[in-house]
A and B are shown apart, each in its own frame.
Chain A
Amino acid sequence: MNIPLGHYLILAAILFAIGLAGALTRKNAIIVLMGIEVMFNSAILNLVAFWHYKHFAVPTAQLFAIFAIAIAAAESAVGLALVIAVYRHYKSVDVDEMKELKG
């Protein structure tokens, strides 16, 4: 069972598109955050796929991916904390209602 590299890249592209669509179209801040996470993971998948097919001997990319996952975890923790702070302020997590920075 040998899966060609292209399959991984297509999967990553699909994941990225799904995440992007979610982040762009959903009103709920948490779902926007989830969309961003999905995009993040598609990027990491790309990274790991390229590592596996091109530079299998050196584990640098693997280390990098684990590092990125750890950062993503921290980032989502911050993101969720922000969502909670926003919710306390606006009593809503609808991103369209957060437009105080408009010109």
Chain B
Amino acid sequence: MDHLHELARQQWLIPAIPLAAAAIQSLLPRSAKKLSAGLCLMAMGISCLFALRAFFATLGHAEVVRAVWNFTWFDYGTVSFKLGFILDPLTAAMAAMVTFVGFWIFVNATGYMHDDENFTRFFCFLSLFAAAMLGLVVSNNILLLFMCWELVGLCSYLLIGFWFHKPSAAAACKKAFITTRIGDVGFFLGILMLFWKTGTLNLYTAEGTGALQRVGELLGPGWFGWSVATTIAVLLFIGAMGKSAQFPLHVWLPDAMEGPTPVSALIHAATMVAAGVFMVGRMFPLFIAGGSLEHPTFAMDMVLYVGAFTALFSATIAVAQFDIKRVLAYSTCSQLGFMVMALGAGGLVPGQFHLLTHAFFKALLFLGSGCVIIGTHHEQDMRKMGGLRKYMPITFVCYLIGMLALAGVPPFAGFFSKDEVLLVTFQRSKLAWGMATFAAFLTAFYMTRQMFMVFAGKWRGGDHGAAHGHGGHEPHEVPWNMWLPIVVLSLFAIGLGFFGGKYAHYLGAEEEELSGKALVMGLSVTVGTLGILLGWFLYGRKPLAHASDPDPLESKLGGLFTCLNRKWYVDEFYEATIIRATMVGGTLFRVIDKRLVDGILHSIVWIVRGISQVCRWVGDEFFINGGFDAGCQTVRGSGWLMSKLQSGRVQNYFRILGLGTIILLVVYFLKS
């Protein structure tokens, strides 16, 4: 245990190394591309070693290990505010995943961003992101977690808007930042309430005085007839909904695809969006406090149904998208819904396990789509792809593995984790389970659709390219630094699923016999197969011949397809309600300001002017002005010189101010 305690003391090194790299990188000149990328990779590599060391140290214990190291941040009067770092299975596994997946994504990014002139800045942001994300994972304090949470939000903003000269990217980064901020209001209220009720923000302490070790005290009445713990949990979950893109705050994630593809892979698929799920997992004692499997708390119900609805809702949208990255983005929303749903059903282990496997295969798919985009010379429309199997064999094989893992085909990783998610949900709610199973069917279908559109048939990019004059460049395979990461990740997408049982034991779950195992697993395999078959039936038998051909599904579904393609009009709905209401409010206040406030002011002005006009006529002009004018002339003559000093340049005034200060100081010191 001493060894673990020592490791917990060193947990801060994991985020600190990338942070130091980011600090150095921010000072590098633009031309130092190799140095910047090298620093970033090296920092991530070292961090990964530390994370793996901590991870292996937590393995092989009979019971769940938890070592914490708290230190005083500041004293205020008699209150001393502590922060801390933690080493427990949840953190160790997550930190190992983030550093490992992150490292390979960085390798891929060196290829993807190769020709970008702001390469150095890009890698600086990546390092900063890694530091913030790892800080979030290792922190033992909800406020420290929140700070890192905001920092990853900032990095996400910077990286989505990396190509800020594109108006769509500039709009997307603002949308992501503001939407997640709405959730963060809830999160922050939750933190305040936790501090108010417990007087500490440290989650665990060695003495058992941490906030999560005392949830038993939080069962008194809170808001809306919930217990305090449930109220806090609901508020925290609102934050998680923003970050993990759960309905109705999911709208930012698909737009976030405006960023470079490695960013989509790292932030908007593997790590940052999973932060919400991780946070719910971290605060899990609050969510379940006061409830049981038969009578779950409101927080658990909310988590369950928000997750289930998002899983189904996003999967339907993914079916009708044409942009290769948008399909994956909605798929990410949907998979996050699965994880959240599992947590809501009380399954901490399946939720976190799905998070880990999903991180590997979704990063793989995103990096694969990045390879496709580079290989096809920056084409993202799947209708203008096709036949890439021939041109990009390595990418094809890896992508296929990722697709099978996501579709839940045994024995790939996604099958095991999704199966556990469905099984645990089946115990709690048949409705949520049904929704999720249907979502799993759609997942298999849209991934098959994507595979056939991108890799099967013949190359359709020529149709479009010729019209625009830059010729039908043939697609090509990507360089080694782009395909190597996806090969590595695909090994994990194949093998990781087999560790599900070990992971459950590692997180301290008790062995229990769950009912309906055969039914759930059988049905999940069946719907997966059906989805793939349907995808083959519609897209595989007769691949699209030309980029302008209608989508086969479109002719079957008609209006519904358009509705799905337009994402159920959620953006339009927000536009028409919240944004419109804000605009109307703004206009209203402007009108009040212009008409009412200004009107009153103007009438006062007119009255005063009228009075003064009368005064002028009565005597001013004749008696006073004559004598005064002569006097004024003299004053103006002398004032002219002084007015030259008034250059209107603020900095000049400031300089004189500074000079005056220095003179005063000199005088002061000479006299004393």
Contact = CB atoms under 8 A, between A and B. Distances in A.
B77 A59 contact: yes
Contacts of A100: 648
Given A24-B658, A59-B76, A102 B651 contact: no
Given A20-B658, A62-B76, A95 B649 contact: yes
Contacts of B643: 103
B666 interface: no
Indicate the size class of the contact surface on chain A. Answer: 10 to 19
Indicate the size class of the contact surface on chain B. Answer: 10 to 19
A65 B568 CA distance: 50
B360 to A, nearest CB: 41
Nearest to A58: B77
B655 A24 contact: yes
A32 interface: yes
B649 A32 contact: no
A102 B649 CA distance: 7
Contacts of B658: 20, 24
A40 B658 CA distance: 15
Given A59-B76, A59-B77, A62-B76, A102 B646 contact: yes
A102 B648 contact: yes
Candidate in A25, A32, A96 with the most chain B CB atoms within 10 angstroms = A96
A98 B648 contact: yes
A20 B661 CA distance: 12
B644 interface: yes
Nearest to A57: B77
B645 A103 contact: yes
A102 B643 CA distance: 8
B292 interface: no
Contacts, number: 37
B650 interface: yes
B285 to A, nearest CB: 32
Interface in A1-31: 20, 23-25
Contacts of B649: 95-96, 98-99, 102
A31 to B, nearest CB: 11
B642 interface: yes
B76 A99 contact: no
A23 to B, nearest CB: 6
Given A20-B658, A62-B76, A102 B650 contact: no
Contact of A24 (B76, B642, B651): B651
Interface in A63-103: 95-96, 98-103
A99 B648 contact: yes
Contacts of B77: 59
Contacts of A25: 651
B647 interface: yes
B617 interface: no
B654 A24 contact: yes
Interface in B620-665: 642-651, 654-655, 658
A61 B646 CA distance: 39
A11 B595 CA distance: 53
B646 A103 contact: yes
A101 B652 CA distance: 13
A58 B604 CA distance: 52
A95 B651 CA distance: 8
Contact of A101 (B644, B646, B654): B646
Interface string B457-486: 000000000000000000000000000000
A70 to B, nearest CB: 15
A61 B4 CA distance: 40
Contacts of B647: 99, 102-103
A49 B654 CA distance: 27
A103 B638 CA distance: 13
A102 to B, nearest CB: 3
A98 B654 CA distance: 14
A101 B649 CA distance: 8
A96 B652 CA distance: 10
A101 B642 CA distance: 14
Candidate in A62, A100, A102 with the most chain B CB atoms within 10 angstroms = A102
Given A20-B658, A24-B658, A59-B76, A103 B642 contact: yes
Nearest to B646: A103
A25 B647 CA distance: 16
A101 B655 contact: no
A24 to B, nearest CB: 6
B218 to A, nearest CB: 28
B518 to A, nearest CB: 60
B645 to A, nearest CB: 7
B651 A32 contact: yes
Nearest to A101: B648
A96 B655 CA distance: 13
A96 B653 CA distance: 12
Contacts of A98: 648-650
B644 A103 contact: yes
A35 to B, nearest CB: 10
Contacts of A103: 642-648
A25 B658 CA distance: 12
Contacts of A23: 651, 654
B361 to A, nearest CB: 43
A98 B653 CA distance: 13
Contacts of A20: 658
Contacts of A62: 76
A62 B644 CA distance: 45
A59 B74 CA distance: 12
B645 A95 contact: no
Contacts of A32: 651
B533 to A, nearest CB: 57
Interface in B39-96: 76-77
B452 to A, nearest CB: 50
The 7 lowest CB-CB distance pairs between A and B, nearest first, are A103-B643, A102-B648, A99-B648, A103-B646, A59-B77, A101-B648, A99-B649
15 contacts: A23-B651, A23-B654, A24-B654, A24-B655, A62-B76, A95-B651, A96-B649, A98-B648, A98-B650, A99-B649, A100-B648, A102-B648, A103-B643, A103-B644, A103-B646
Given A103-B645, A103-B647, 13 more contacts: A20-B658, A24-B651, A24-B654, A24-B658, A59-B76, A59-B77, A62-B76, A96-B651, A99-B649, A100-B648, A102-B646, A103-B642, A103-B646
